[in-house]
Structure 1
């Protein structure tokens, strides 16, 4: 997910997406621990997406 896509969303939508990504990250970590995750780089991408969303939320709230 690109930051340009994220910065146009509202704060409530960003929080919903952050929650969804956090749930996906949890499931990916569980699958990785039991060896069912085919691509462990998914975990890194999810963490980066959550960080981008957190950055966008902070920028919008600081205004």
Structure 2
């Protein structure tokens, strides 16, 4: 999973953002579960990328709530 750019996130509709956020959270939960069971992650930086994407989406959602 590549990092989402803020411009890409801003172009999404609120519904698309919510859907993407749910998918990312599910994927993060899966990756954390794999790591917790002692499995070697296929891509070690994936958890960080997922967390960053989630934070970016949440930040933009908060900004748009204010406006």
- Considering the TM-score relative to the shorter chain, is it more than 0.5? yes
Unaligned runs of 5+ in 1: none
| Alignment deviations for residues 21-55 of structure 1 (CA, whole Å, 9 cap, x no partner) | 00000001011122142222100000000000001
- Poorly superposed stretches of 4+, deviation over 6 Å: none
Cα distance between partner residues in 1 of 2:32 and 2:44: 9
Please state if 1:58 is matched with 2:65: no
Unaligned runs of 5+ in 2: none
Q: CA deviation at 1:12?
A: 1.5
Number of the residue aligned with 1:49: 53
Please state if 1:3 is matched with 2:19: no
> Normalising by structure 2, what TM-score?
0.85
The answer to whether the 8 Å contact 1:32/1:40 transfers is: no
Cα distance between partner residues in 2 of 1:8 and 1:58: 15
> Normalising by structure 1, what TM-score?
0.89
